[in-house]
Structure 1
């Protein structure tokens, strides 16, 4: 058994604290209690321990030293009232910077565009902006100053090309008259694509051409002729020609639809239907024709009116009227054309066959 020195006793876990250790522990607890009491006794209830414990912020690149003037206009930044002051600091790439973490004075910070955070409620402006209603403004302006009504323009009619008849050459004397009427459906040819320009025209055919050419309104009375049945193909055209004043029947209540119509009868019918005024001295006007003596007495005034209005077309000699000659389809087409020119529906055609009085 080994002998130990009396002063070197083995330490025991049950040994009491020393006086110096007790004093140190007492001082530590007293200090901590004082700090806690001091912190809770402050009037500022917004004390934030997170700020005390948070690490020091890294100076931003947008903060300039105090001794350098800012090249940009200064702006005072205010904290967003919608943000929570107890939240953790924003990430490094955020555009919102807490004012308390800035190392430089606020008036030296370069102004930046602050984008709203998705977790922060937008700031509402105190000023209320009244939206402008364009529809109401337009409606009020229309009511105050009414605009003039504009009627749509009438659509121009498209005239189809004329019918290419096999027996009407390009140099035919009445070719241009025939083309003008055929393109408008006033005259038509035969199933074999012929016009038969030299064929005479009877009274029924002439009535049908008048019905297609003129839009003159007349009464709707039905005249019964002994030689025209109700089922005759030209009965509607004959009734219209009688009611509009172009044609007349004979005294014995006959119309003679198959009778060939003469040149003088064509012109008398046109002058009567258009109500053209007869000149005071018809004989002087009719002296332009070498065969004026062949004109029937009843028709002298009408033919003089037809001459002064440019309705007479003579071929091949414009000085030969040939009043009692049967009118051909080409001659009827030329005279109908001239009557439409007189009413303003067609344009004039230059032709040596048109009789023109010397001025």
Structure 2
């Protein structure tokens, strides 16, 4: 066996820590502890870990009581130029005063926060109580439109099957039928030549005139309370158009004459007789047939354009029974006199200035008549 030199002992896996290394570790831990202690003891917003995690760029450290470099320094109670002139003083928030005896350092003081209201609209502008709404109305882009007055719409006249276009009274009948003053019969006929009785005339007067009652209605013995024309008769009596007969009779079924129609219209319209009635009536060739009680009334009807004579304007025919067409023409002329209708042109309308004077032989002068006591119906007793 060969003698070999003893092998070197294997190096230990654990080497003892040197003195220098121990001092370095101690200093490192001391430094770390001091940093942690210092960081936990101060309350600085710049050490906000949430802000550090959310921000990709580190923000520079801010020393205590130091203003942010990007914010201009603003003195307290000084309103910058960007404050609108009508901003209230309450819009400026004053900074908080730092306590002097606080042991911990306080964060940086931000400049005063300026609250600027949004751009005001027209509604935000204060309005004086005494100021009206005219400025806002004037500045409106849309023009003011005043609603026009509603015009009355007149329906068309009734097309009666027995009133030809060339009939002398067609225009008078059309005007009154379009205003429901005159109506026809169920078979669409007007029957222009049919006579009119006193009750029918009272009904026409009631529809044509809005005369205020001036007399008290009379309870006639021959007019029943439930008679169809009783309200119209009462209105014609109280309006002064018609009168009754003796013994409180009205005779509603009696046909009315042309002179009675004209006398009724003149009385209801309260027209005054001219000073020289005989001279006015000289235009009629049959002036001698006018009843004495009606001379003044017929003269007033002539001067006011109420008389309509067909076919000859110089023939009055006062005692002839009035037809429906003649009543329509005279009622139309009375409404023209009242200003309710527009005048129409017709050769049948008697106008004294346009008619030749009747010859003395044809129409003798009407002598003054003695006073005659008249009945309430307008006819002599």
Give the TM-score normalised by structure 2: 0.66
- Counterparts of 2:339 and 2:254, CA distance in 1: 31
Q: Which residue of 1 aligns with 2:154?
A: 159
Q: What secondary structure does 2:54 align onto? A: coil
Q: Does 1:37 align with 2:34?
A: yes
- Counterparts of 1:272 and 1:264, CA distance in 2: 12
Q: Per the alignment, do residues 4 and 282 of structure 1 end up closer, same or farther by CA in structure 2, a change over 3 Å counting?
A: farther
Q: What secondary structure does 1:88 align onto? A: helix
Q: Does 1:316 align with 2:316?
A: no
Which residue of 44, 52, 56 maps to 1:46? Answer: 44
**4+ long deviations beyond 6 Å:** 1-5, 127-136
Shift of 1:127: 6.9
Q: Which residue of 2 aligns with 1:203?
A: 198
- Counterparts of 1:5 and 1:243, CA distance in 2: 170
Task: Report 1:201-350 matches (<5 A).
Answer: 201-218=196-213, 221-350=216-345
Q: What secondary structure does 1:358 align onto? A: helix
Q: How many residues align?
A: 293
- Counterparts of 1:352 and 1:34, CA distance in 2: 134
1:56-108 deviation per Cα after TM superposition (whole angstroms, max 9, x unaligned): xxxxxxxxxxxxxxxxxxxxxxxxxxxxx7453247xxxxx88549xxx969x
What runs of 5+ residues in structure 1 fail to find an aligned partner? 52-84, 92-96, 108-122, 144-151
CA RMSD of aligned residues (A): 3.8
Q: Which residue of 1 aligns with 2:53?
A: 88
Higher deviation after alignment, 167-176 or 288-297: 288-297
Q: Per the alignment, do residues 333 and 26 of structure 1 end up closer, same or farther by CA in structure 2, a change over 3 Å counting?
A: same
1:130-161 deviation per Cα after TM superposition (whole angstroms, max 9, x unaligned): 99977994865469xxxxxxxx9875432222
1:290-327 deviation per Cα after TM superposition (whole angstroms, max 9, x unaligned): 22222122111111111111111111122221111111
- Counterparts of 2:229 and 2:2, CA distance in 1: 165
What runs of 5+ residues in structure 2 fail to find an aligned partner? 62-68, 72-111, 134-146, 355-381
Q: Which residue of 2 aligns with 1:184?
A: 179
- Counterparts of 1:210 and 1:308, CA distance in 2: 21
1:10-45 deviation per Cα after TM superposition (whole angstroms, max 9, x unaligned): 2334x44153xx422421431452354267458964
Give the TM-score normalised by structure 1: 0.69
- Counterparts of 2:2 and 2:230, CA distance in 1: 166
- Counterparts of 1:335 and 1:4, CA distance in 2: 173
Higher deviation after alignment, 172-181 or 33-42: 33-42
- 8 Å contact from structure 1 (residues 246, 273) kept in 2: yes
- 8 Å contact from structure 2 (residues 176, 332) kept in 1: yes
- Counterparts of 1:315 and 1:251, CA distance in 2: 33
